Amino acid sequence: MQLLVLLSVLAATQAAIVPLVDTSGHFHTSAPADAVPQGKNVTINGVLTYVSLPKNKKFDPTAAVLLLTDVFGLPSPDNLLLADQWAEAGFATYAPDYLNGNALAMGGDITAWAVNHTEVQTTPPLLAVIGALKSHGITKLAATGYCFGGLYTTRLVQNNTVRVGTMAHPSSLNVPTDFELVKAQSHAAIEINNAELDTGFTPAVALQTDAVLGNGHYAPGYFRRQFDGVAHGFAVRANASDPVQVAAKQGAFDTSLAWIKAHLE
Ligand SMILES: *[C@@H]1O[C@H](CO)[C@@H](O)[C@H](O)[C@H]1NC(C)=O
Ligand SMILES: *[C@@H]1O[C@H](CO)[C@@H](O)[C@H](O)[C@H]1NC(C)=O
Ligand SMILES: *[C@@H]1O[C@H](CO)[C@@H](O)[C@H](O)[C@H]1NC(C)=O
Ligand SMILES: *[C@@H]1O[C@H](CO)[C@@H](O)[C@H](O)[C@H]1NC(C)=O
């Protein structure tokens, strides 16, 4: 009995909540002004959703990518262009406004903002959109989450709501507890792109994640790729004049795309 108590105390002290990274810790170089988002804003089951469909090519109408944005949400053109990139790769892509019309402004106070964006406020609009997609015949759903969206990708994986999940520089996770829950109850393959210089999901946290899911410990499939020389937010925004950032952003996209293609059947 005493040993069990001691073990759980130890586990509690080792578990760490990955913090939301302050806005100053994100790359702020925004998309080029001449880049025009190709998708449309649509209201799905009462929730504003940016929808980007593959253009001039056939796509599987029973499959879709759910793009779970960072805290800057749909007002950030970078998120819309990222959804377009998924559509260009052949997937109907849906980015729900699970921030309830209240995305964080660039340079805004993330700690104050987070109070009104807990799972209690964020999960219902997310599930409303997913419910509508499923009732319209989308059976093969993948989630790809960035920063804030990493927590929700993990939740959808834990609940087997999606068939596969990828995330980049996730925040707000409880590591290793959240991944232990994945291991205990999920059938969905999971992939993580992390940044060497991330102050939230640090390389040390990434190694704690590997200890749970890596080395074949997670049968549905796990892969993690670390990008060196870049920081939090790198998979969403890159300084176009910095080849390291540009290559990392593209590399994260390509890795997630390959993973989703391989596991969405
Ligand atoms: C979609 O809505 C967002 C948030 O209101 C807005 O910032 C964006 O410009 C809209 N995009 C399009 C293509 O209408
Ligand atoms: C949170 O939302 C409530 C209700 O909409 C509002 O009164 C409050 O000012 C918000 N808090 C912050 C920090 O935005
Ligand atoms: C996952 O399941 C839990 C337990 O049923 C529920 O509370 C939570 O809202 C679900 N989250 C998502 C994102 O589906
Ligand atoms: C973008 O990268 C270039 C080349 O490294 C650098 O000179 C410039 O200051 C960077 N811009 C921003 C906003 O970080």
37 CA closest ligand 1 atom index:
13
Look at ligand 1, atom 5, and give the residue with the nearest C-alpha: 75
**64-86: average pLDDT:** 97
Mean pLDDT of the chain: 93
Residue 263 binned pLDDT confidence (cut-offs 50, 70, 90) = very high
Counting ligand 1 atoms within 8 A of each CB, the residue from 44, 80, 97, 100 with the most, and so the one to mutate, is 80
225 Cα: distance to centroid of ligand 1 (angstroms): 31
Give the ligand at the shortest distance from the Cα of 114.
2
Ligand 1 site, residue 74, Cβ cutoff 6 A: yes
Q: What is the distance between the alpha carbons of residues 79 and 66, in angstroms, rounded to a whole number?
A: 12
Give the ligand at the shortest distance from the Cα of 243.
4
What percent of the chain clears pLDDT 90, i.e. is strictly above it? 84
Look at ligand 3, atom 4, and give the residue with the nearest C-alpha: 159
Kindly list the protein residues whose Cβ atom lies closer than 6 A to any atom of ligand 3. Answer: 123, 127, 152, 155-156, 159, 161
Instruction: Give the pLDDT of residue 14.
Output: 58
Kindly list the protein residues whose Cβ atom lies closer than 6 A to any atom of ligand 2. Answer: 112, 115-116
Instruction: Give the pLDDT of residue 4.
Output: 46
- Residue with tokens 């980007």, as numbered in its chain: 52
Residue 28 binned pLDDT confidence (cut-offs 50, 70, 90) = low
CA 193 to chain CA centroid, nearest Å: 10
* Predicted confidence (pLDDT) at residue 1 exceeds the cutoff of 70: no
Instruction: Tell me the pairing of strands 164-168 and 140-146.
Output: parallel
- The boundaries of the domain holding residue 180 are 2-263
Look at ligand 1, atom 6, and give the residue with the nearest C-alpha: 75
CATH at 171:
3.40.50.1820
Helix axes 177-185, 148-158, angle to 10 degrees: 30
**Closest by alpha carbon to 194, among 180, 208, 215, 182?**
208
188-228 per-position pLDDT tens digit: 999 999 999 999 999 999 999 999 999 999 999 999 999 99
Instruction: Give the pLDDT of residue 15.
Output: 67
Q: DSSP of 225-241, one letter per residue?
A: EEETT--TTTTT---TT
Alpha helices per DSSP H over 2-100: 2-14, 77-88
Domain count, the chain: 1
* Predicted confidence (pLDDT) at residue 101 exceeds the cutoff of 50: yes
171 Cα: distance to centroid of ligand 2 (angstroms): 22
Q: What is the distance between the alpha carbons of residues 147 and 93, in angstroms, rounded to a whole number?
A: 18
Strand partners, 65: 93, 142
CA 203 to chain CA centroid, nearest Å: 17
